[in-house]
Structure 1
């Protein structure tokens, strides 16, 4: 479910959104995504009253940020020798970009809940039982050793961990905040099993995930094992 490092993905998304802060670039992006087909540099420049070089620079920057895709087509309708070089065209990228501060993981929760509902419908397993199992399985996958320790992994996935004097690790951010507020028992149970899976996947014997609700914090804490 997680292919890339979440921090790297978030940094790339922030960079992409920042690229749209430049007014000319934003106008070009809006023009391209509103067109029914790919747009050439000349077409974009003429539509917005820009120099071709200016349009090309900003369109390429949008492509570099994965906001636009580049395709090549021959607009003459001819092929073979003498048909000319294919034109460089731009169209909306299929990439989805979202930035949330504090870090939120609602898509992850949605996927786990959908998987649990599907398994329940197929097997008759209670939805909550299926959800806990799916969450723990995913946590184990996230925790498979890749050089990160427990604290680093929690930071990577937006939990904002903090060491306490007691030796526990408090989690100052809940990636599922709005869902946990409205569906506390379901979402906090899912989160507990997710983090139990992370601990298990890392082979971490020094901590255990425990429910410990506290206002403004994640409902789970990592308590030291006596």
Structure 2
């Protein structure tokens, strides 16, 4: 749900993965990724036996997907007038790409848990109490940005909300495998996350409640009492 890269870069993870499905493009990405420094078009073309134009096309596509960063350097070592134009070079970006179907957010759970353990270690507050508080704080930040309401927020982030009467059920749990093994901790984290989102979204029609059932998230949105 909550790892939203849209504010970091206008790239889509699925599109990036699809870009690597092309064999030549994947070889170029691997060449750059394994290099000890930025790689130029001529260097890449020579290493893989490609035409320079072909290498340039695929390198630029990888850069457009956010998989490579573009840098400019003068490799001659000369500076000033007459030094020539800097060469266009490519290096692996720091962007991480992951695609799961249905949507999962294990990285988010790991971040919240790690933060909770560190704060608990320094303050003595129970880990689970810190985790639930931090989950609620994150939910509050997300809810404050949910201009169209919390149900739309859940839809956009993969919870697959569906209405059954006055109740909103969530067809997908972003923490599915973790929740199966650590029900109290992970479902409690999720509950506080959604309660935080409801608190700041302006959507006063619902309240988040635990209601585990097979095939869906353990949290449901019930009509507010």
User: TM-score scaled to structure 2, two decimals?
Assistant: 0.94
* Structure 1: stretches of 5+ with no match in the other structure: none
CA contact (8 A) 2:11 2:65 kept: no
The Cα offsets for residues 50-106 of structure 1, whole Å up to 9 and x where unpaired, read as: 111111111111111111111111111111121111111111111111111110111
Q: Which residue of 1 aligns with 2:108?
A: 108
Structure 1 runs of 4+ aligned residues shifted over 4 Å read: 1-6, 8-11
Partner SS, residue 91 of structure 2: strand
1:142 maps to 142
Partners in 2 of 1:62 and 1:211 — Cα distance? 43
2:88 aligned residue: 88
Q: How many residues align?
A: 224
Following the alignment from structure 2 to structure 1, what is the Cα–Cα distance between the partners of residues 54 and 20?
A: 15
Aligned counterparts of 2:201 and 2:79: Cα–Cα separation in 1? 57
How many Å separate the matches in 2 of 1:219 and 1:57? 47
Rounded Cα–Cα distance in structure 1 between residues aligned with 2:139 and 2:109: 12
Query: 2 CA distance for matches of 1:51 and 1:186?
Result: 55
Return the alpha-carbon distance in structure 1 between the equivalents of residues 148 and 119 of structure 2: 32
Match in the other structure for 2:48: 48
Deviation sequence 1:178-222 (CA, Å, 0-9, x none): 111111110001111111111111132211111100111101011
Q: Deviations over 1:111-169 (max 9, x none)?
A: 1111211221121111111111111111111101442212101112221100002x100
1:175 is the counterpart of 2:137: no
| Conserved 8 A contact 2:147-2:201 | no
The 3-state SS of whatever aligns with 2:12 is helix
Q: Residues 1-226 of structure 1 correspond to what in structure 2 (within 5 A)?
A: 4-5=5-6, 12-165=12-165, 167-226=166-225
Verify the 8 A CA contact 2:11 2:66 in the aligned structure 1: no
Change (3 A) 1:66 1:118: same
Q: Report deviation, 1:31.
A: 1.2
Considering only aligned residues, what root-mean-square deviation do their CA atoms show, in Å? 1.9
Structure-1 separation of matches of 2:18 and 2:28: 15
Please give the alpha-carbon distance, in whole angstroms, between the structure 2 residues aligned to 1:5 and 1:218: 25
